[in-house]
Amino acid sequence: MSTSTVLDEIIVGVREDLTQRMEQVPLERVKELALAAEPARDALAALHGDGAKVRIISEVKRSSPSKGALGDIPDPAVLAAKYQAGGAAAISVLTEQRRFGGSLADLDAVRAAVDIPVLRKDFTVDEYQIWEARAHGADMVLLIVAALPEKTLRYFLELTELLGMNALVETHTPDEIETAQRVGAKIMGINVRNLKTLEVNNEHYASLAANLPQSVIKVAESGVSGIEDVTGYANAGADAVLIGEALVKSGDPEAAVRAFSAVPRAQ
């Protein structure tokens, strides 16, 4: 008998919460709101930048399953504004409630505070969430290969792009990278945190990054505690690095983003 992983358990809660939201706001209404929203910003261009320096995706992250509460964020809009002032290329907002303490209200607050691309970071398991992201002003959504059958992943990616957004397609293994390539991912992330065990291994990025095609934006996710980690990812070919905990706990998020954003890309 197979045992459930942390990812499986998170998705169970995500589906329960999603069911409640779908009852409160029907899909057809969410579609109306999505189609009436301001056009999505170009996340591909933002993450590419000038090609000289690594681009930072700064995350509004209240807590995590592995570390618990990370820090007090009384106003996510204030934090997001500091990220933008420090030179963040994009801002990721956790909207999963049970394990990460996030909400769509956090997404709304950040969207209103910044004019750079915003990633709605959640566990996308239903097309409702993609329409919902666009309705709340998101420019990007997270699609986790490990959480979706390939056919569904392909459909979700197509829908995301149809709505003018981009998807960060997250991988953890060579097989998942191949799947992401087959469905046409343009922004591919390697998460060095094992979502089944929550263990982190930064060296995992370099070993997998060699499998990423040059044509995509390559994003390193998780495992950043300081500038040496960002430098390591950049040297291994990362175009962008997604950072949450290290920024939330930094004490000076604007200065931290500025320092991380100065790291040169591998040439």
Catalytic machinery residues: 59, 61, 121, 170, 191, 221-222
Decide if 197 contacts 215 (C-beta within 8 A). Answer: no
User: Which two structure tokens, joined as six digits, stand for 216?
Assistant: 């995509």
Residue 120's closest CA among 167, 188, 163? 167
Q: How many Å separate Cα 43 from the centre of its chain? A: 12
67 Ramachandran zone, left/alpha/beta (phi>0; psi -120 to 50): alpha
Residue 248's closest CA among 104, 60, 115? 60
Decide if 76 contacts 106 (C-beta within 8 A). Answer: yes
d(CA 98, CA 138): 21
